[in-house]
Structure 1
Amino acid sequence: MPPIKRAPTLTPSQLRHVLNVTQATSRHPERDCLAIWLAHGAGMRCTETARLEIRDVLTPSGRLRDEVLLRAETTKNCRSRLIFLTNPKLRQAVEAYLSYRLRNRLGCTLSATEWRGLMPLTKLLLTHRGGGFELVRKRRTLPDGRKAEYWAADALEARFRELYRAAGVKTSSHAGRRSFASALLKRGVSLEQVAILLGHQDTEVTSAYIHVERKTLRAMYENAI
C-alpha cells in the first residue's frame, strides 16, 4: 500500500480553540462550527458533509435523528453507512444552525408542519448565496491502476482550510476524521469497529492514518497478557 499523506490530529483543547476562533471571526459561525463538528464528532468526509440534506438529519415531524444513514451515492466508496448524532455538542451545533436557517428563511417552505418548515431536499450546509456547496467531478488512480471518477467538494474543503488557518492550524478537513478515529481507538474501540464507523472496507486503510499516542501503545503491551 502506498504511503498516505496524513493530516495532523487535533487534541480536544486544539479543537476548542478552532471552534472558539470560528465562533468569533466567521461570518457564518453556526454553519462553519457545524461543519467542523460533523468531521470531529461523526467522522464525516468533506464531500459527504457537503451532500448531506435536511431529510437526512430530520424526520418529517421535525425531530433531530439520532442515526443518519449516509446514502450510497453520497459516500466515497458508494457504500451506505450509519453515522450517529449522539454527541451532545454535535447535536447542539445542528440545532443552532437549523435555528439560524429558520430565522433567516434559508430553504424554507410556507408551512412549518413538516421538516420544521425546511425544504427536505435542500442541502444541510448552505453557502452565503443560499445553495449547496459546489461539487467537482474528478478522477483518481486506484491501487490496482484502474481509474475512478468521484465528486469533490473543493469549495467546502477550501473553507475548512481557511477556518483551521485562522486558528493557527495548518491542516485540511481530513484532520476531523483522523482525530475522530484516534479518539475512539484511545477509548478502547477496536480497529474493526473504527473502520466500520469511517466506512473503510479494509482495516489497513484505517490503521494507516490513525494516530496512537505512545502511552496508549505502552498500555496495550502491558495489558496484552
Structure 2
Amino acid sequence: MALSELRADIIAFRHYIQSERGLAENTVLAYGRDLERFARWVVLVQLPQYLKPTLKDLARYVAFLHEEELAPPSIARHLVALKMFYRFLRLEERADATAVDLLGSPKLWERVPEVLPPTAVEALILAPQPGDRFYLRDRAMLETLYATGCRASEVVNLKLNDVYLDSAFCRCVGKGSKQRVVPLNRHAVAALRSYLVGTPDEGARPAESATEVFVSKSGRTLTRIHLWALVKKYCKRAGLPKTVSPHTLRHSFATHLLSGGADLRTVQELLGHASITTTQIYTHVDRERLKAMHKQFHPKGGNASAPLPPPAPLAPENEKPPAA
C-alpha cells in the first residue's frame, strides 16, 4: 500500500466535508490532523491494506492513541473522524461498509492486552547485538521498558537525575506529572551502567547530551516514535509479531508480576494507574494462576479432572434419624 494513495484519499475527504457537507474550517482542520495521525500509524505498523481494516487492526489503533496519551474526548474525536472517512470511502466505492460497522462496534473497546511470554521478551531484549550502531543504548532501553513497566513517553523522558543505579531504582514522571518510584532489576542496572560508561562506538551515551538518559548519537532527546520504530526493528529481528509495541512490554511486565504472585495493588502502584479498575484488565490474561490459587486454597479445590467420590449411602426408610 502506497502512502501517497492514503494521503490522496484524505485530501479528497477534506474537500468533500468542506464543500459538500459544509463543515466549519476548524472542524475540517481537526479531522485532517486526526487522519494524518492515522496515516502515520499505518506506515509505522506497516498495515497491508487500509481499505479493509479488521477489528484487530482498529483495536491496535485505539491502543496507539492511548499510548500517545490523548485525552478520552480526543480519542473519541479521532474515531469519529475515521468513521466519517470510511463512510466517504464507501460512497466513493473504494471501501465497503465493514469498516464503518467495526468502528461502531462496542468490541473495539473491549481489548485484552497483548502479552509476550518471558522467553519472547528475552529474545527481544537480546536482539540488539554488539556491532549494531546503538547496541548499548537500545539494549538498555529495552531492559528499562520491561524492568519498570513504564510507558514509552516515561522512558524517553527519563532524566539522568532520576536514575539511582547504586540503589537500583528510578523515579518516573507519569500522566498528570505524577511521580512514582520503580525498582530496577540487576539486568537493567547492568545494561544502563554499560550504556552510561561505554564508548560511542558501541552506542553509548555521548558526553555532551541533553538531560535525558536516552539520546541520539548527536545527544538529542528521543521521541516516542523513535522508541516505537526501535521496538519494531528488533521485533522483526527476533521473529516476533508485528503487533508488538513498547506498550506490549508494559502489559507483559504487569502480567508476569501477577503470575509470579504480586498483588493487584502493588502492580497498580508500579504502573502508576490512578484507578485499580485499569489494572484489573491484567487479571483476564492470567486465568491459570487463578485456577491454581483456587485449587490450593479452596476446601474443595482438588483436581477438577479427578472423579468425584461416590455419594454417601442413604439411610433405610425404617431407620430413624439420630436425635438432635
- After TM superposition, the score normalised by the length of structure 2 is 0.52
1:200 to 260, 273, 276: 273
**Contact 1:57/1:64 (8 A) holds in 2:** no
Superposed CA offset, 1:197-223 (max 9, x none): 100011111122466344212112223
Please list every run of 5 or more consecutive structure 1 residues that lacks an aligned counterpart in the other structure: 109-118, 135-152
Is the Cα contact below 8 Å between 2:257 and 2:267 reproduced in 1? Answer: yes
Equivalence map 1:135-174=2 (5 Å): 153-169=224-240, 170=242, 171-174=244-247
The structure that is strand-richer by fraction is 1
Match of 1:84 among 179, 183, 196: 183
2:264 corresponds, among 191, 203, 219, to: 191
Please give the secondary structure, in 1, of the residue aligned with 2:156: helix
1:51 alignment counterpart: 157
After TM superposition, list the pairs within 5 Å mapping 1:1-225 onto structure 2.
3=109, 5-23=111-129, 26-58=132-164, 64-70=166-172, 74-85=173-184, 87-100=185-198, 106-108=206-208, 122-134=211-223, 153-169=224-240, 170=242, 171-209=244-282, 212-225=285-298
RMSD across aligned C-alpha pairs, in angstroms?
2.6
* Residue identity matched to 1:75: G
Give the corresponding residue for 1:111.
none
The CA distance in 2 between the partners of 1:209 and 1:221, in whole Å, is 18
**1:167 Cα deviation from its structure 2 partner:** 1.5
- Measured after TM superposition, the shift of residue 42 of structure 1 is 1.1
Q: Name whichever of 8-17 and 189-198 sits farther off.
A: 8-17
Q: What is the Cα deviation at residue 8 of structure 1? A: 2.4
1:160 aligned partner, one-letter code: V
SS in 1 for 2:170: strand
Q: Equivalents in 2 of 1:167, 1:30: separation in Å?
A: 17
Equivalent residues of 1:181, 1:210 under 8 A apart = no
Looking at structure 2, the residues matched to 43 and 91 of structure 1 have their Cα atoms a distance apart, in angstroms, of: 15
Distance 1:92 1:105, change over 3 A: closer
Amino acid at match of 2:119: S
Q: Distance in 1 between matches of 2:211 and 2:199?
A: 11
After TM superposition, what 4+ stretches of structure 1 lie above 3 angstroms from structure 2? 4-7, 101-105, 209-214
Matching residue's letter, 1:188: G
- The alpha-carbon deviation at position 181 of structure 1 amounts to 0.6
SS of 1:22's equivalent in the other structure is coil
Looking at secondary structure, tell me which structure has more helix per residue: 2
Change (3 A) 1:221 1:93: same
**Alpha-carbon shift at residue 224 of structure 1 (Å):** 4.2
Q: Which amino acid aligns with 1:76?
A: K
Give, in angstroms, the shift of residue 192 of structure 1.
1.1
Contact in 1 for aligned 2:265/2:276 (Cα 8 Å): yes
Deviations 1:137-157 (A, max 9, x none): xxxxxxxxxxxxxxxx22222
Give % identity.
27
Distance across 2 between alignment mates of 1:185 and 1:30 = 30
* Aligned-residue offset at 1:20: 2.5
After superposition, the C-alpha distances for 1:19-43 in whole angstroms (9 at most, x for unaligned) are 2322257421111111111111111
- Aligned in 2, Cα 1:105/1:53: closer, same or farther, shift over 3 Å? closer
Q: Please give the alpha-carbon distance, in whole angstroms, between the structure 2 residues aligned to 1:105 and 1:33.
A: 12
Alpha-carbon spacing, 1:43–1:105, altered in 2? closer, same or farther (3 Å): closer
- Cα distance change, pair 48–75 in 1 and its aligned pair in 2 (3 A): same
Deviation at 1:12, TM superposition (A): 2.0
